[in-house]
């Protein structure tokens, strides 16, 4: 996968940001439409049952999406994102499938959302879209390792475990950094990801073991 770091400057007609691939959701097949929804964390079954195609999806309102099972926050985000996609939004992430590229680009933008749960879901979604050893994706996700919300930091640790390859110094540093996370729930969560729940009196060992194991695996130990 190829990931381009978004520019902080406004794009112009001749800027690099406008020279890459653009979203074209109207060209998606039904299966691509549903895979896009799954990739951004939406249950696609109601959309399948109602025969929602890509063109129909672009016409749905927040109320329509809520009827199909989305939360108020999900519906609000998706309506805005679909409008951007329909307008030919530049794809910041290039994968083998156009719909998945659009989904990953949407998730990348969601990393800056105000809602912590949205950011955490975006981290998990990007980790699922990209492949192990993808340094660009890993670098973007590691940028959220210091997120103010512990749930987001937990999600980042999961992503590091999935995407980090052996010998990846950035992934090792990100994993090791969580040993001293200020939130005990983050350290406990990270430990339980690989070791499973243990009696509370072993918590200190468990926390250290979990993160050290992730870092060690990436070093090839």
pLDDT of residue 113: 92
Band (pLDDT 50/70/90 cuts) for residue 59 is very high
Q: What is the pTM of this model?
A: 0.69
The chain-wide mean pLDDT, for the chain, equals 76
Distance CA 173, CA 160 (A): 10
Band (pLDDT 50/70/90 cuts) for residue 75 is very high
Could you report the per-residue pLDDT of 179-214, keeping only the tens digit for each?
555 555 555 555 554 444 444 444 444 434 444 454
Q: How far is CA 166 from CA 111, 142, 145, 219, in A?
A: 26, 16, 19, 5
């Amino acid at each position: 996968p190829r990931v381009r770091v978004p520019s902080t400057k406004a794009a112009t007609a001749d800027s690099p940001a406008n020279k890459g691939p653009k979203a074209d959701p109207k060209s998606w097949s039904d299966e691509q439409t549903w895979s896009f929804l799954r990739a951004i964390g939406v249950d696609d079954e109601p959309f399948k049952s109602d025969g929602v195609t890509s063109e129909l999806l672009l016409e749905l309102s927040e109320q329509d999406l809520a009827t199909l099972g989305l939360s108020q926050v999900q519906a609000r985000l998706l309506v805005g994102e679909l409008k951007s996609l329909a307008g030919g939004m530049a794809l910041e992430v290039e994968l083998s499938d156009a719909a998945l590229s659009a989904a990953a680009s949407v998730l990348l933008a969601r990393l800056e959302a105000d809602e912590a749960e949205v950011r955490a879901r975006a981290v998990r979604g990007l980790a699922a879209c990209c492949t192990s050893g993808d340094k660009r994706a890993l670098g973007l996700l590691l940028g959220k390792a210091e997120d103010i919300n512990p749930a987001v930091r937990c999600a980042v640790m999961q992503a590091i475990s999935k995407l980090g390859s052996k010998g990846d110094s950035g992934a090792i540093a990100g994993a090791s950094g969580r040993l001293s996370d200020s939130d005990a729930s983050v350290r406990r969560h990270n430990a339980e990801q690989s070791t499973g729940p243990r009696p509370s009196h072993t918590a200190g060992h468990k926390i250290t073991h979990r993160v050290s194991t992730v870092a060690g695996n990436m070093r090839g130990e």
